[in-house]
Amino acid sequence: MVNQKAAIVLGSDSDLPIAEKAFDTLKDFGIEYTARILSAHRTPDELAVFAAGARSNGFGVIIAFAGMAAHLAGCIAARTTLPVIAVPCASADTHAINGLDALLACVQMPPGVPVATVSLNGGINAALLAAQILAVSDKRIAEALATKKNAMADATLEKDKRLNSH
């Protein structure tokens, strides 16, 4: 059986506004997901259990949202062979550096523990990448992605047409 669910893990509820965009995008593709708030630093034992059991619980991909130190995605990737997508989140904390800290933590993974990283606050792209990963073995999701890409192209060409119709 192919695992076609996505897991979404937030390091904190402060990441929820960014994650909600991923929720909406996954819903648009009819992809089932489970969302959890589990911290790499505050709930490491619970996070380890969740990550280690993700495949057997039917997940095919995991998206991790975290700011500041942003160790969440790496801690998950250390405990699973599933693809892990990191979404570095800009923090409202006055000691954070506009998300650069989170971005660097997500992309600077050691050899053997890969994490795919999208842009700062890139919840939509994380969900689209998750859909593309799941689409490798799901024709319905692949067709929905193709439809979305065609609609984006049509919208851009329509804007071009309006720009040049003066």
The CATH number of residue 13's host domain is: 3.40.50.1970
Domain hosting residue 53, numbered range: 5-138
Please check whether residue 151 lies inside any domain of the structure: no
Angle at which helix 16-28 crosses helix 123-135, to 10 degrees, equals 40
pLDDT of residue 94: 63
pLDDT of residue 96: 62
Q: Within 13 Å, how many C-alpha atoms sit on residue 72's CB side?
A: 30
Please give the tally of structural domains in the chain: 1
The total of other beta-carbon atoms located within 10 Å of residue 56's CB is 8
Three-state SS at 144 = helix
Please check whether residue 164 lies inside any domain of the structure: no
Please check whether residue 79 lies inside any domain of the structure: yes
**The pTM is what?**
0.94
Q: Which residues of 107-132 are buried (b: 16+ CB within 10 A; e: fewer)?
A: eebeeeeebbbbebbbbbbbbbbbbe
Please check whether residue 26 lies inside any domain of the structure: yes
Please check whether residue 154 lies inside any domain of the structure: no
Instruction: Print pLDDT tens along the chain (166 aa).
Output: 567 899 999 999 999 999 999 999 999 999 999 999 999 999 999 999 999 999 999 999 999 999 988 999 999 999 999 999 999 999 776 666 888 999 999 999 999 999 999 999 999 999 999 999 999 999 999 999 999 999 999 999 999 999 988 7
Please check whether residue 132 lies inside any domain of the structure: yes
pLDDT of residue 160: 95
Separation of alpha carbons 153 and 140, rounded Å: 20
- Residue 34 burial by Cβ neighbours in a 10 Å radius (0-12, 13-18, 19+): middle
| Bridge partner residues of 64 (DSSP) | 9, 86
H/E run at residue 9: strand 5-10
Please check whether residue 148 lies inside any domain of the structure: no
Please check whether residue 150 lies inside any domain of the structure: no
Q: Which ranges of the chain does DSSP label H, i.e. alpha helix?
A: 16-28, 44-53, 72-77, 100-107, 123-135, 139-163
